[in-house]
Amino acid sequence: MANASGLLVIERILRDKQGIWQQIVEDRELPRLAGQMLVSSVVALAVYGAVLGSFHSVLMALTSAVKLPLLFMVTLAICLPTLYLFNLVFGARLSIRQSLSLVMVALTVTAMLALAFAPISLFFLITAPDYAFFKLLNVAILGLSALVGLRFLTGGMKVLNEHGLLAPKVAEPAVAAPAPAPAPEPVKELVAAEATTNGAAPAAGPAPVPMPVQPPTVQIPPPGFAQQHPRQRPLQPAGASTPPSMSLLYIWILLFGFVGTQLAWTLRPFFGSPDKGFSLYRDIDGNFYAEIFRTIADLF
């Protein structure tokens, strides 16, 4: 499972979710993992985009297959620096690789769920080719898929918080070095003290030589031990307060949603209105939310 590649990475995410979070916590082989998730997300979104554009024409299907992955990747490129800087400002110790991998997990889940809904969308395209209904259906599918993906994102952030990566690093208190053990007294003094107590003179003779004290031995681990056995960070207690980075994640999710919907409105059309010819882009007038309300009104 750890070597899953391409589209199979979604199986590892769903079956071994804790293993994915642990890999992100340890910052282990994240470029490879992010590359696998990027490939799977682009392929899944391209297939789903082709289904959306099929409502109008083959040419619209091809352009939507390019524009839908572009929509998600550009939104990620715009919003990822904000998430990373949020973490830095409030003392989180996430690297840019960890932040990217965490968001890519959510994006991969979203893309794969959309791909799973593609046959249902295609079914309604064939049996009920109504433009308003088809548009609202696919907006609902993408919205539902995004909610599930964001649930993975919040779950991953909670795991990182449990490992202390979202809170500032606390300096460990200095530990005083133990006092050296006193050297043993000569055996001669012990014998003299015993003889004095018994009322007898100490016996003459050479004083015994005290045994030297052996210093404690320190075992040095072999080379490569630290890489094979990474030190686990201590888990946060159950009653620990929520760090600001975790609270600001929900604000970042809203920001991601607003940027994504506005960018989708800029890159339209994805479906292609049946009463209009093919066009790569439309004029930027109105907004995404007004169009959704207008479509609902036309449907009913």
CA pair distance 103, 37, nearest whole angstrom: 10
| CA–CA–CA angle 85, 88, 93 (5° rounding) | 130
How many whole angstroms separate alpha carbon 245 and alpha carbon 250? 9
What pLDDT is stored for residue 191 in this prediction? 44
Q: Residue 22 corresponds to which tokens in the numbers above?
A: 């642990």
**The pLDDT of residue 294:** 82
Q: What is the C-alpha separation between 161 and 17, in angstroms, rounded?
A: 16
> Which value, in Å, is the radius of gyration of the alpha carbons in the chain?
33
Q: Of 281, 280, 297, which Cα lies nearest the Cα of 289?
A: 297
pLDDT tens string for the chain (300 positions)?
444 555 678 888 988 889 999 999 888 889 999 999 999 999 999 999 999 999 988 999 999 999 999 999 999 999 999 888 887 877 777 888 988 999 999 999 999 999 999 999 999 999 988 888 999 999 999 999 999 999 999 998 888 888 777 666 655 555 555 555 554 555 445 445 555 555 545 445 555 555 555 555 555 555 555 445 544 454 554 444 566 667 788 888 899 999 999 899 888 888 888 888 888 777 777 777 887 888 888 776
- CB burial of 177-216 (b: ≥16 within 10 Å; e: otherwise) equals eeeeeeeeeeebeeeeeeeeeeeeeeeeeeeeeeeeeeee
